[in-house]
Amino acid sequence: MRTIAIISQKGGSGKTTLALHLATASVLAGQNTAIIDLDPQASAANWADRREEELPVVLSAHASRLPHEMKRVEEMGGDVLIIDTAPHSDSAALEAAKVADLVLVPCRPAILDIEAITNTLDLVKTTGTPIVVVLNAVAPQGTEAAEAAEAIAALEVDVCPVQLRQRVAFSRALITGQTVQEFEPDGKAAQEAAELHAFACAHLNLPEREAERGVA
């Protein structure tokens, strides 16, 4: 089982949106996928309550229960696990980073957001887990994305080549318990979500498509 932790100490960076879209992309690629929601606001779990499809499974848990819930997902035959963490919680972020194979740090392309991720990066770097920053809510036009990527790279961290643009579809899809690949499968947002999933699979040496298996 491969585990991806979505971590940012700043609220509003798009952690849950990233987690839900990565997890659903994994399901659509035939990977048995689950999300562990460590955020007390339980946004991912609330999304699952609105969702008609059974997968991805979303488990709401406290950080202290993370090892137990991970074992539970593994026993269910999980291929991919996404951990959605809470902002302003060093302990939960640290525990998630320790058990992950990859940490993704979503960041909006604004100076205050870029400055704010330094604490997150310093925290995660202590675990030795690979880190990649994903630019989120990027304006469809302009140079801010390139400028932000250059500023983030100066922090000695990898920047994901796939960027999620500021598109209405990302928020609208979540209202009905979907993601953009289900809500608007031929749209640009769906393409970006698929490309981000392909990047994560390549980073983890995980096949993009496996035989379909249901979670028990």
- Give the pLDDT confidence of 127-150 residue by residue, as tens digits: 999 999 999 999 988 899 999 999
Task: Supply 84's token pair.
Answer: 């959605």
Confidence (pLDDT) at 209: 55
Confidence (pLDDT) at 208: 61
Pick 2-202's CATH classification: 3.40.50.1000, 3.40.50.300, 3.30.479.30, 3.60.21.10: 3.40.50.300
pTM (predicted TM-score): 0.94
Question: How far is Cα 126 from Cα 136, in angstroms, rounded to an integer?
Answer: 24
Crossing angle for the helix pair 15-28 and 43-50, to the nearest 10 degrees: 40
Give the helix, strand, coil percentages of the chain, each rounded to 5.
Answer: 45, 15, 40
Residue 24: closest CA among 177, 205, 163: 177
Segment 15-73, tens digit of pLDDT: 999 999 999 999 999 999 999 999 999 999 999 999 999 999 999 999 999 999 999 99
Question: How far is Cα 58 from Cα 69, in angstroms, rounded to an integer?
Answer: 11
Residue with structure tokens 């990527």? Answer: 149
Q: Where are the domains of the chain?
A: 2-202
